[in-house]
Amino acid sequence: MQQKWSAVDEYLVQKLIPQDEVLEQVLANNQRAGLPAIDVSPMQGQLLALLVRMVRARRILEIGTLGGYSTLWMARELPVNGELLTLEAEPLHAAIARENLHFAGVANLVTVAEGPALQTLESLGERPPFDLIFIDADKPNNPSYLKWALHYSRPGTLIIGDNVVRNGEVTNPTTTDASVQGVRKFIDMLGNDPRLTVTAMQTVGMKGWDGFTLAWVNAI
């Protein structure tokens, strides 16, 4: 099935998403630098961009930068006074992301904070809430990322969690995979929190079988 999923993704990208040499160059830079190809797909990137546009986000938090591909999709939708803070533990990933974001002309809107995301989140202190938060780093820490995401939210913040289906393993209650365990706890927390309205979508495509959660903060 993977071949067919990829073919459909490629068809849809070709039909729906304008060719973009900057985004393509960013992926090429990531590959040349040896970064893993675990960025969002173009269709997912466009979805992130649309979500930023729909909620009129001015302040965005991203947890998990890699080479800044998803960062760029979102940053391009920000107004001139917008801000995107993205958190990345790996120095090489952070360095490539900074180069890419500079090359793409959005560096003035984006801060790449290098270091373990939990440490950065603890150190942010008092600040205005974020309008949109994209959680896409190490999945065992997803429950903690959700706690911090809520801490930095307001009613109307949109919290997106990527890679929550994991080839269907998310339904396995006896899993020993720490990423799946993290995602399962994350989903339990989302589902049990009366402050949130949540959905999840399964996806197939060039990145395999996975999915994401979308959580709207009703109240804090």
Binder of ligand SAM out of 59, 93, 139, 207 (CB under 6 A): 93
Rule CB under 6 A: choose which of 87, 150, 164, 170 binds ligand SAM: 87
The owner of tokens 């998803």 is: 70
Q: Is 88 helix (H, G, I), strand (E, B) or coil?
A: strand
Based on the shown chain and the rule CB under 6 A, indicate whether residue 180 belongs to the binding site for ligand SAM. Answer: no
> What is the phi-psi region of residue 68: left when phi exceeds 0, alpha when psi lies from -120 to 50, beta otherwise?
left
Handedness of CA 198, 36, 62, 106 (dihedral sign): negative
| Interaction between residue 210 and ligand SAM (CB under 6 A) | no
Q: Give residues 99-138 in contact with ligand SAM (rule: CB under 6 A).
A: 116-117, 136-138
What CA–CA distance (Å, rounded) separates 206 from 122? 35
Per-residue b or e along 41-67, where b marks 16 or more CB atoms closer than 10 Å to that residue's CB: bbbbbbbbbebbeebebbbbbbbbbbb
Residue closer to ligand SAM, measured from CB, 9 or 39: 39
The 8-class DSSP code of residue 177 comes to -
Query: Phi/psi of residue 203, each to 5°?
Result: -130, 145
Footprint of ligand SAM on 140-159 (CB under 6 A): 141
Taking CB under 6 A as the criterion, the residue among 43, 46, 52, 70 binding ligand SAM is 70
Taking CB under 6 A as the rule, does residue 205 contact ligand SAM? Answer: no
Q: Which range binds ligand SAM by CB under 6 A, 2-10, 11-19, 64-72, 194-202?
A: 64-72
Pairing verdict, β 196-205 and 208-217: antiparallel
Decide whether 66 or 194 has the Cβ nearer to ligand SAM: 66
Residue of 9, 13, 23, 39 that binds ligand SAM (CB under 6 A): 39
Does position 83 bind ligand SAM by CB under 6 A? no
> Which SS3 state, helix, strand or coil, does residue 30 take?
helix
Interface with ligand SAM (CB under 6 A): 38-40, 64-66, 69-70, 87-90, 93, 116-117, 136-138, 141
